[in-house]
Amino acid sequence: METSHGICRIAVALGETHSRTLLEQVEHWQGYLALVKMILFCTGIPGHYPVNETTSSLTLTFWYTLQDDILSFEEDKQVVYLQVYRPVYFQLVDVLLHKAHFPSEQDYTSWSSDDKEQFRIYRVDISDTLMYVYEILGAELLSNLYDRLGRLLMDTERPTAWQDTEALLFGFQAIAETIDVNYSDVIPGLIGLIPRISISNIQLADTVMYTIGSLAEWLADHPMMLGNVLPMVLQGLVKAELSVSSVSTLKRICRECRHDLAPYIHDIMTVSQDVLVKDIHKSSQCMWLMQGLGFLLSALPMEEILGSLTTLLTPHIQRLDTLAHQEPSPTAKLSIIHILGMLSSLFTTLDISRQDEGSEGTTPAQARPNPVVVVLQQVFTLIQTILSKWLSDSEVVEAVCGVFERSVKTLLNDFAPMVQQLSEMLGQIYSAFPQASALDLTRQVLFCLNRHCPVLLAQWLKEGLRVPGFPSAQVSMEQKDTFSQQLLREQTNKRRVKEIVKEFSLLCRGMQGTTGYSADY
């Protein structure tokens, strides 16, 4: 193995360093082609990386170099070189897909976690190479992959190894992730083939999910095809072992196809609510799922959003209410942060502002309560109860502030009904335990109001700062007026707003001039 490894290194070094020079030696083209084919053999060296061999990974950068050099020549020379090397690149695709094959399940189970991670990274490198190779092979590459997949799935007489199907889908996904496939004539056929795949293990199921996800933009342009693949995604969503792939794929579909999901919204919401209540997914995947549902709900008619929101959130708000009245404990803390994180994630993407664009004969947004504001008002007392017990815990306070910070960014003008309550809550936090997350939230609120509704900000500052002792007995009315004037002058400079708020917060705590300390806040 060491000998072949060394020979491969020499061949790759020679090919990479002198690629353009060797290409220019037209009279010796067969000699350089022989070197290229030697490197191709090294790429496809027998055995699974990294358990049986570690040589093939050394060759991948060579194929980038050769392709760049070929495409750097004038068009007439390119034509000649492509006649010689396009067949080689098609062979390379076959080799790369073979090297991307998973081993047998028995062998794979025996691999160490480090070996599995190296193999995962190796497949990412292969994916990047396939994406790059598309530039030289073009649409013919997709047609080639589609024809092979079709033959595999349609030949019912000959048993097919799942690894063969997985590798071809992996190739499709690698290209579709980065190349615009909207005009490819093989994607409709691929969408039609996917439901025919007999999913027998996790690796194949994951790749099916990721392939569907990579086609989300195409599905947005061809919504009639959603029914072919969405049921498979929802079936994957209930399986913990497919958590990352199924949740990320559903999120992409909800983001790209939100306006065409009306026929499927009941199924999506029902399955999503079920997996969230049963804690099937880890916390990070729950956040992704809530973001996806935020995109989905944004496209609903206004009169339906609040009802769907209530159904989705009620079990989690009830759980939060129970936790809020328990004595603080590490378990309760994790659950509180998790639920608040889910609310934050949902409110990040639940944006109804675009519904008013181009809509005629509908009630304008200003005349109806924003569903997110309605929910925030309903849970505000509950959040205050949580703060009363967890005010000294920076992680819980950060999670609370995160709910409002994400909401402010999405709601903008619609956040107005919450401003007074929020200012009182921030004053409560500052007076007890000044924390960075509360200061960040204050900055965000002030900047958004200043930029999008300065009249509201001016009114809020006038009313809020007129209250004696708010936000601190350390500041005089004159200092409050100066703060207001400085803030209202800055409508676009976020950095300056941040500085003004920081200076005022230090003033409120009697710490003006302590710049070293303020760095932490």
Q: For residue range 238-274, what is the model confidence (pLDDT) as tens digits?
A: 999 999 999 999 999 999 999 999 999 999 999 999 9
Q: Amino acid identity of 276?
A: L
Place of tokens 């001039």: 513
As a whole number of angstroms, the distance between CA 182 and CA 486 comes to 50
Question: CB-side exposure of 282: number of CA atoms within 13 Å?
Answer: 8
Per-residue pLDDT tens over the stretch 436-449 = 777 778 777 777 77
Those residues whose C-beta lies under 8 Å from the C-beta of residue 87, and which sit 6 or more positions away, are none
pLDDT at residue 398 is higher than 50: yes
Cα 249 to Cα 36, 44, 244, 429: the distances in Å are: 38, 32, 8, 39
Find the range with the poorest average confidence among 85-94, 353-362, 409-418, 496-505: 353-362
Check: CB of residue 461 under 8 Å from CB of residue 484: yes
Those residues whose C-beta lies under 8 Å from the C-beta of residue 381, and which sit 6 or more positions away, are none
Q: What pLDDT is attached to residue 514?
A: 52
Q: For residue 295, how far is the Cα from the chain centroid?
A: 13
Q: For residue 328, how far is the Cα from the chain centroid?
A: 33
Check: CB of residue 36 under 8 Å from CB of residue 85: yes
Check: CB of residue 335 under 8 Å from CB of residue 323: yes
Q: For residue 12, how far is the Cα from the chain centroid?
A: 36
Find the range with the poorest average confidence among 1-10, 196-205, 227-236, 511-520: 511-520
Check: CB of residue 58 under 8 Å from CB of residue 42: yes
Per-residue pLDDT tens over the stretch 216-229 = 999 999 999 999 99
Radius of gyration of the chain (CA): 29
Peptide bond into 159 cis (omega under 30): no
pLDDT at residue 433 is higher than 80: no
Q: Amino acid identity of 442?
A: T
